[in-house]
Amino acid sequence: MSNLFQKIKEVTELDAIAGYEHSVRDFLRAKMTPLVDQIETDGLGGIFGIKSSIVQDAPRVMVAAHMDEVGFMVSHIQPDGTLRAVAIGGWNPLVVSSQRFTLYTQTGQSIPVISGSLPPHFLRNSNNSNLPKIEELIFDAGFTDREEAESYGLLPGDIIVPQSEAVLTANQKNIISKAWDNRYGILMVTELLEAIKNKPLPNTLIAGANVQEEVGLRGAQVSTNLFQPEIFLAVDCSPAGDIYGEQGAIGKGTLLRFYDPGHIMLKNMREFLISTAQEAGISFQYYCAKGGTDAGAAHLKNSGIPSTTIGVCARYVHSHQSLYAMDDFLQAQAFLQAIIQKLDRSTVDLIKKY
């Protein structure tokens, strides 16, 4: 497990929000290049490794993570030197205040920033009990005024990323970190390609990661148009509901995500996934989701692409500190490998048969 923790620590401590995924893209390019036949990028910056099959009429199967995590972008600099920002991805205002962030300037310089909060002293005799809006939140780098901030290279459009270190829990089973949504998917892709590097496949595999998922599933629309897969497998992390009496429990295996507001799993895909999991001895749990993944965008492209999400869940996602089980990753990885090995022409045609 210690080796897995180090890999997770490496990927979760990378910083990348929508539109600024270059650090994760560079990581993927370095990891994937020796494991695939070729590397291709799309026009928005998605990156995929292609592993061709020697089988005639092999189906094209796409496995896609997304590179971006949630963060903020500077909207303007106040005269007093503090910053205001827009959310890049979904944030609960309750988890933003009094946290540390890293601001990256246009030149790549990193600057420590904290999010402001109201001390209890200022709340006494105050009727202001409403949640703040994201655009009202204060980000503070300690500058005296706007001129000083600008002298350090700060500009509107600079990105603000949560600062957090990955740590093991006391029982050594779980990890606390930022960005498991969706560095989980990034590590799933690299571990998959490493595991199958010397294995012949019954399909042409297109594995990598999209951009800008957290702001509307944008990258998946571009990459599916470019690569024209017959099957699309998103690899993504979902919120755990176990401590709230909802579905999704950490430590209980990978998710069979049969529904979300933007995607309903097809009957034949569901039967294929369940039989594959049972045959491979995979621990899985049924999951009815309240949010979407890239599968929601991909399945509507190219006259319709049967799609699903191979996922895990984590507590407290879209914050500085999410908590998740390492064994869930291992179950999801074993599931993904079993799926890829089974997706030959006859199986794909059966999934697509209506």
Q: For 287-305, how does the pLDDT look when each residue is reduced to its tens digit (9 = 90+)? A: 999 999 999 999 999 999 9
Same domain, 206 and 247: yes
Q: What is the enclosing helix (H) or strand (E) of 329? A: helix 326-342
Closest to 14 in 3D by CA, of 206, 184, 168: 184
Return the exposure string of 153-181: e unless at least 16 CB atoms fall within 10 Å of the residue's CB, then b. Answer: ebeeebbbbbbbebebeeeeebbbbbbbb
With contact defined as beta carbons under 8 Å apart, do 209 and 186 qualify? yes
Same domain, 58 and 75: no
Judge whether 171 lies within some domain: no
For residue 20, the domain's CATH number is: 3.40.630.10
Judge whether 18 lies within some domain: yes
Over residues 167-210, the pLDDT tens digits come to: 999 999 999 999 999 999 999 999 999 999 999 999 999 999 99
Rounded CA gap, 156 and 15, in Å?
Answer: 19
What pLDDT does 117 receive?
79
What pLDDT does 131 receive?
73
With contact defined as beta carbons under 8 Å apart, do 169 and 323 qualify? yes
Same domain, 48 and 82: no
Rounded CA gap, 230 and 205, in Å?
Answer: 11
For residue 112, the domain's CATH number is: 2.40.30.40
Same domain, 48 and 185: yes
Residue 23 has pLDDT above 80, yes or no: yes
Return the exposure string of 120-141: e unless at least 16 CB atoms fall within 10 Å of the residue's CB, then b. Answer: eeeeeeeeeeeebebeebbbbb
Judge whether 167 lies within some domain: no
Residue 179 gets the label, from left (phi > 0), alpha (psi -120 to 50) or beta, of left
236 labeled binding residue: yes
Rounded CA gap, 76 and 203, in Å?
Answer: 49
Same domain, 203 and 271: yes
Structural domain for 129, as ranges: 71-162
Residue 125 has pLDDT above 70, yes or no: no
**Among 105, 135, 162, residue at a domain's last position:** 162
66 labeled binding residue: yes
**Among 105, 129, 162, residue at a domain's last position:** 162
Q: Name the pLDDT band for 128 (thresholds 50, 70, 90).
A: low
* Radius of gyration of the chain measured on its C-alpha atoms: 21
Same domain, 241 and 324: yes
Terminal Cα distance for the chain, rounded: 43
Same domain, 208 and 238: yes
Rounded CA gap, 111 and 127, in Å?
Answer: 35
Judge whether 132 lies within some domain: yes
318 labeled binding residue: yes
What pLDDT does 136 receive?
86
Q: What is the mean pLDDT of residues 86-102?
A: 95
Same domain, 32 and 149: no
Domain count, the chain: 2
Judge whether 134 lies within some domain: yes
Active-site residue, from 21, 69, 213, 230: 213
Q: Name the pLDDT band for 126 (thresholds 50, 70, 90).
A: low
Rounded CA gap, 235 and 102, in Å?
Answer: 27
Query: Between residues 161 and 124, which one has the greater pLDDT?
Result: 161
Same domain, 149 and 281: no
Same domain, 95 and 12: no
Amino acid at 267: K
Question: Annotated catalytic, 148?
Answer: no
Same domain, 23 and 143: no
Q: Name the pLDDT band for 331 (thresholds 50, 70, 90).
A: very high
What pLDDT does 132 receive?
78
Judge whether 168 lies within some domain: no
Mean pLDDT of the chain: 95
**Percentage above 90 pLDDT, the chain:** 92
What pLDDT does 119 receive?
72
Judge whether 170 lies within some domain: no
Same domain, 230 and 341: yes
Judge whether 279 lies within some domain: yes
